[in-house]
Amino acid sequence: GNSVTQMEGPVTLSEEAFLTINCTYTATGYPSLFWYVQYPGEGLQLLLKATKADDKGSNKGFEATYRKETTSFHLEKGSVQVSDSAVYFCALASGNTPLVFGKGTRLSVIA
Amino acid sequence: NAGVTQTPKFQVLKTGQSMTLQCAQDMNHEYMSWYRQDPGMGLRLIHYSVGAGITDQGEVPNGYNVSRSTTEDFPLRLLSAAPSQTSVYFCASSLPGTRGETQYFGPGTRLLVL
């Protein structure tokens, strides 16, 4: 079945540090891949997505590239801010099956 | 647009009580779903619906019922609450076909079962 594995948290970084959150997947067919973000006390919201191999999703300085050969979709940001503190979820959808989420990675950025 | 709304925001139940968590969306989305979020477990799908009159089970459906009589509403019913159902519940909606489509989430309902 479809599954997503993302790095365990929590991750604590200083402001302006480089961020990588690893995400790998197992899926049948050709899935779409997503990163969702959950700020404290809120629901999830889409951060970025990629729908085919080699696509790069980007938003708010975050980027992730759909790598079919390594079945990965790692999230990166060159310089994090305190306001980026949140929980980040990697997810996939294949065919018309419901979205499958990873367990989430909590990021704390300190000034 | 209000997007996806959920009520109540917070609820305390005693074991054995029943209740309905409300979810509504005003974006004319055909696809709606319910998730529960537990520490260390991420989001797990409870039930989902691809359109009015059609529902299906997700990963953790036991103890929950749903119905979809209109496009806008997708209530989640707890028939006999148990402490294991203490969680944060999120409703989401999207255009048809989850592949490639953005899911829009509500703000969540925090449920405590004593």
Average pLDDT over residues B76-90: 96
Local structure of A84: helix, strand or coil: helix
Of B4, B48, B90, the CB nearest to A98: B48
Q: How many CB atoms lie within 10 A of CB A63?
A: 16
Query: Per mean pLDDT, which of A1-10, B12-21, B41-50 is the most reliable?
Result: B12-21
- First vs last C-alpha separation in chain A: 41
For residue range A45-87, list pLDDT tens digits in order.
999 999 999 999 999 999 999 999 999 999 999 999 999 999 9
Higher pLDDT, B99 or B88: B88
Q: What is the per-residue pLDDT for A29?
A: 81
Q: Is the pLDDT of residue A97 over 90?
A: no
Q: How many CB atoms lie within 10 A of CB A56?
A: 10
Q: What is the per-residue pLDDT for A41?
A: 87
Backbone dihedral region of A84: left (phi > 0), alpha (psi from -120 to 50 degrees) or beta? alpha
The alpha carbon of B71 is separated from its chain's Cα centroid by a whole number of angstroms, namely 14
Give yes or no for A105 touching B (CB within 8 A). no
Higher pLDDT, B50 or A29: B50
Q: How many CB atoms lie within 10 A of CB B96?
A: 11
Q: Is the pLDDT of residue A10 over 60?
A: yes
Of A96, A101, A103, the CB nearest to B99: A96
Which A residues 45-104 touch B at CB under 8 Å?
A: 45-46, 49, 51, 89, 93-104
For residue range A14-52, list pLDDT tens digits in order.
999 999 999 999 998 889 999 999 998 889 999 999 999
Q: What is the per-residue pLDDT for B96?
A: 73
Give yes or no for B17 touching A (CB within 8 A). no
Q: What is the per-residue pLDDT for B102?
A: 85
Q: Is the pLDDT of residue B108 over 90?
A: yes
Q: How many CB atoms lie within 10 A of CB B53?
A: 11
Q: Which residues contact B55 (CB under 8 A, 6 or more apart)?
A: B47, B48, B49, B66, B67, B68
